[in-house]
Amino acid sequence: MKKIEAIVKPFKLDDVKEALNEIGIQGMTISEVKGYGRQKGHKEIYRGAEYVVDFIPKVKIEIIVESERADQVVEAIQKAANTGKIGDGKIFLSTIEEVIRVRTGEKGKNAI
């Protein structure tokens, strides 16, 4: 099983969600995060006091899928979240050892 973590622009979340629904992904976890990479921050000026805002708001999406579906999911996210501008985000892929459904105790594929 694979975990896909994608950090995307907040206003792209709906596009990503729709793209994932289309390929049959039925659940995900999202969180509002802040960070910076090449995009860097921006400046805000209050009565002449300049503050640099380093951390820019992003949305992190986490999805667990069977290993064979991972490439398809990554491709869908990459297409949907792309604006062509710096700051579009990153996608991380990692291997997951086990998934357990809290309600029934099912494990592995059945628990996804």
Partner 1 sequence: MKLKHLWLTLTLGLIATPVFADDVLDTGDTAWMIVATALVMVMTPAGLALFYGGMSRYKNLLNTLAMTLVSYCLGSIIWIMWGYTLAFGTSQGGIIGGFEHLFMAGIGVNSLTGTIPTYVFALFQMTFAGITVALVLGSIVDRMKFSSWIVFAILWITFIYCPIAHWVWGGGWMGEMGALDFAGGNVVHINAGVAGLVLSLVLGKRIGYGKEAMFPSSIALTALGAALLWFGWFGFNAGSQLAADGVAASAFLVTNTSAATAALVWMFCEWIVTGKPTVLGIASGVVAGLVSITPAAGFVNLPASLIIGLVAGALGYFFVGVVKHKIGYDDSLDAFGVHGMCGVWGALATGLFANPAITEGKAGLFYGNPGQLWTQLISILATATFTAVGTLIVVYVTKALTGGIRVGRDDEIQGLDSNLHGERGFEIA
Q: Nearer Cβ to partner 1, position 45 or 102? A: 45
Distance of closest approach, residue 52 Cβ to partner 1, in angstroms: 7
Query: What are the Cα distances from residue 86, in Å, to 8, 9, 89, 103, 112?
Result: 11, 11, 8, 42, 33
Q: Nearer Cβ to partner 1, position 53 or 100? A: 53
Query: What are the Cα distances from residue 75, in Å, to 23, 51, 72, 93, 105?
Result: 11, 37, 5, 12, 31
Selected from 45, 98, 102, 103, the binder of partner 1 by CB under 8 A is: 45
Neighbours of 12 (CB within 10 A): 21
| Piece of the chain touching partner 1 by CB under 8 A; list 2-10, 20-28, 43-51, 104-112 | 43-51
- Give yes or no for residue 51 binding partner 1 (CB under 8 A): yes
Give the DSSP letter of residue 18. Answer: H
Task: Show contacts with partner 1 in window 52-91 (CB under 8 A).
Answer: 52-53
- Residue numbers at the binding site for partner 1 (CB under 8 A): 44-49, 51-53
